[in-house]
Structure 1
Amino acid sequence: MPQRPAHRRPRTGRRTPRTARRRRGRDRRRATASRHRSKRVRDRESVPARMRPDVPLAPAPHLLFHPMDRGIRDTRRFRRARKYKRGRFVTMLTREAWSPVGSRGLDATTRGRPRLLGAAVVAASCVAIAMLGMPLVSLPDVIAALVGARGIALAVGFASASAMAYVHARHRRARTHLAAVLAGQTEILDRITRGAPLDAILSALVEMVERHAEGMLCSVLLLEGNVLRYGAAPSLPATYREATHAIVIGPTVGSCGTAAYRRARVIVTDIAQDPLWKDFRDIALRHGLRACWSTPILGSDRACLGTLAMYYHEPRPPDPNDLELIETAAHLAGVAIERHRNEKALAASRVLLEQESHVAQALVQAGQVMLAARTTPVVLAELARLTTELLGCDCADTVARVDDEDSYVTRSADGYADHEWESLQRLRMPPAMVKRLLDTLAQRPLIDVRTQDVPDADAKAMLDAYGITTSLYVALRRDEEPIGFLSAAYRGRDERFSEQQRRIAVGIAQLASMALANAHLVEEARRASQLKTEFVSTMSHELRTPLSVIIGYSDMLVDDSASPEQAAILAKIRTASVELLEMIEMTLNVNRLEAGHDVPHFERLSMRAVFDQLAEEFSALPRQEGVVLRWEPAPVAIRSDRRKLRIVLKNLVGNALKFTSRGSVVVRCAVRDEMCAVTVEDTGVGIAPEQLPVIFDMFRQGDSSDNRTYGGIGLGLYIVRRLLSQLGGEVTVTSNPGHGSTFTITVPLAPPEELRASA
């Protein structure tokens, strides 16, 4: 065992501060070097193997050395190599991986390379060492060295160095090419991100591909349906692009058409021999194109968006670099095309949504106006105004058939001058003039025509007279029967109506047709009601005259000292006649209310005087025995209609007496919150709760059965409510079945201003 030199002190477990600092510094340096080494390894592994500079682009046995091999670059390895035998040193250089413990070791960059690399490096190193110790002082010595064994060693070393320089230059070019490709990709992606136009992006992509492949012509074709159209091909001849533009894809349609059809890469190394080019061979050869490689451009959903092709002027197959470049370019083109189409679809959907919103708002506005109109003239007038407003046209008019005339007339118009509107009103169009237009509208929803294209000479002359250049016609129908048409027009502008305007016009016409049908129904109902009112009024007057005669003669017979039996008969006759007369009066009151002829007449009156008059009238009328009618007036003066107020109170008191068989009926008057309140309280049969909401409707009673005990036609309470609405008052009721009911009416002490104005 070798002895430790005497001048060295033995190592102890205690460390000096200087030693500790050195160890900490060494540990930090090792940790930093390890981090850097790990980062370099990760960076190389993150790049695909076919794009890494430490892997040859085209594997070949003559590549003996790689410049990234740190086992050769690190000179310290040569200094430390003296510790190993030659065989171990050779094994270190030639085996796939060597990483001694405690050192950085060699990267596994020679993995899979021929072992001749290690032998060549060892030979070159031995020659260099030998040359360093060899005294070559003259030219003959040099020649002798070159001729002898040392010359062979020098030749081997020189060859190895030349091979290393060649590989190093090649990989440097590969790294430069990779950096340029990545820079081009970054530029294309930046253009896509910034939203550049698609043609500009595709042109930049084609130029980038052509820069990295010498002698190559690139093109990008876009697939629309099953047709390929040029998206970018700046280097291809214009005549060739025109001849191959808009081709239909298929199984044997050149390289691009076939690639799009198969959705797979198509490699044609010689256009002159390949059967896929039989239809385009002549045009391709005429322009000097001999090879074409095409790959489909696929979207994220694997749908074919187009093709990317590479043309060459000589027959040749692609190498791995070419295939990688075309795949990368196709991927970038797919990203650009898909983004462009998505943005285009989004913009189109946004425009469509705005149009739909505008159409919906226009139709809602038209529907509100049309459905609010109740008469045909109002519907037609609003229709012309809305058409001009919502379509943004210059003028609009409606033409409809006159029922009592065999002609069509302009019923409403908007956008015309006063003298033009007067001439339109005087215009009468015979059915033959509009028959062709209506027949066409029966088959189509609308007609959009320029005046210069109108075949009818008379119609064309009429349009020219009003300065109309473009017209839009939509049919107006009532119960599916055409009754006329709606016309919208431009004056002095030679332009067509847009699709949005067409949809609005059709919607307006449909709403107008419904409004016209509703107006027709309302008008028919009003005419029927008018006829009914006139008939009832006539019959009521005719019935009231003989009833008055009957009542008068009955009173005369009673006055002539009739016998008790005769007096009883005459009393029954008079009672029935009075009841019938009251029903006739109610019917006449309802007719006057419905016709709007019975307007109120306000005057100052005393409620005590009204109560006294009513008490005198009811005292003369027969009532059931045991029923007491009591009046409790108050000193209240109001401004109201005396006749209407008397009818209201008379109907309420009459109903109370009719439905009360015993007990009392009390009529009270009081002032409540600037209102005159009159209550009619009885102890009669009362009203069921479910009947309270309907007793104020016309012809409704609490008991509507055929065998009801009490008579009447159900008009009294309806008249009460209608008259009180004219006086500005209201009526309420509370009832307890079997115990009686209480009706309360309230009328203002002075009528409101709007009621006085209407009166």
Structure 2
Amino acid sequence: MPYNNSSNSLFHTPLVGHAVVDADGCISRVNHAFTRFTRYSAQQLEGAQLQALLHPDDSLPVRGATARLRYLSSDGQLCWGDTCTLSVEAADNSSDNFILQVRDQTSDHMEQQVQKGRARVLELLYNDDSLPEICETIVRFIETLGEGMRCSILTLDAERGTLHKAAAPSLPDFYSEAIEGMHIGEGVGSCGTAAFRRERVVIADILNHPYWERARRLVSRTPMRACWSEPIIAGDGSLLGSFAIYYDTPREPQPDELDLIASAASLTAIAITYKRSQQVLHDLNRAKDEFISIAAHELRTPLSAIMGYSELFAEEGTDLHSQQMFAREISANGESMSRLIDDLLDLSLIQVGRRLNMVKQKTLLMPLLEKVIGYFSRSAPLHDLKLCSGQDLPEEISCDAGRIIQVLENILSNAIKYSPDGGPVTLEVERSADSVSFCVTDQGIGMSETEVRRVFDKFFRADASNTAPGGLGIGLCIVRDIVEGHGGEIYLKSRQKEGTRVTFSLPI
């Protein structure tokens, strides 16, 4: 049916969709912008009922008014459009027909919803909800923005390179259980590949894509047929996991859907980063409180001994031999307090990012070793302490002798502290091409893999129980700084109930 010139001119507007609708609600003509908006062809639209395109809960506004309506696109997804109906007269003067004018607002609507989602997540963070609760809220919220959408959040165990479920309420349980702990890597589904590459991976048909070959039998038992995955990356660039959107039919994403999954991953990164930072702060505060308590105890012990022996020393009638013994005990406990205070001062420098003060000079190696071994032979007579030195050791090394003695005393003290009485403790010293290595081995209680990974952290003690040997948990942190300050390296190996081996090297 022909229309007047003013009506025809509307169809040449490139950014606004137009459709002519007759009195029966049948579409008779559309422009290109309308087909792009609905993702139907003109042939599919012309002759179709307009109501079939609208969401069942939406209705057209009165003539001349504008309302934001939901439309169902050809792939079953919702599109949002600001809609206006305009009266139009045909050439035969009939006036029951009208022109539907639609401005695509899908991206704008999605952005508004994402902003609401961000506000909701910030509210949950403020209320101190748990990370699993927040992740599930994000997933369920994103799922409301698309028809038939299923979402999941997998978080990364960076040490093992594995992904673990944080939230996937709409995925089949057996599927989530089967992929739990999968390693990231090239060709490991959508999520494993996206995390490995640190870039988005879109797979429109997972049953026929090589990345899903190993999981094809598993996924064929689910209704899911498309999967798009976005890596979750923190502000500092570290990988946190992956966010995935699944559909039950094979399909490619639209630009606004790609924006949505990127926003979802960004929102999830905010939540994960905040909660992990919060946990780190909590752990640091707890460690600080424990440190203060332990430091007070460690200082009080030698101080109490000094005060006690001082009183005995001052008593009338105390013989010379006893006074000499009391004086030695006072001196030994004073040295213990001095070492503890020195450690605290060293730690304060490390805390602010400064290197410890070191003055390197030529130092005779064997006298240094014999001094350390002699001290522990006297202070720990119940342990079998041995020094094993290679035949070609250099006579001198360039080092801060006091600092290297501090390193050896700390490592040997730990070996003795965590070994049973009579247990062997060995210090082996050998020369390589351009360095000297020092290795302390014991057969004590040893450490777990988790403890070994944290052993050089400030305030960490391998056995933090009430019955654990004393210590502030700062010695090995200081030791590492001293060794690295000399241009050397240090590492530790240990197995529970088998003992520990600490090795450090110094350049010649």
Q: Which has the higher strand share?
A: 2
Could you state the TM-score of these two structures normalised by the residue count of structure 2? 0.46
Higher CA-based Rg: 1
- Which structure has more RCO (C-alpha within 8 Å, separation ≥ 6)? 2
Q: Which has the higher helix share?
A: 1
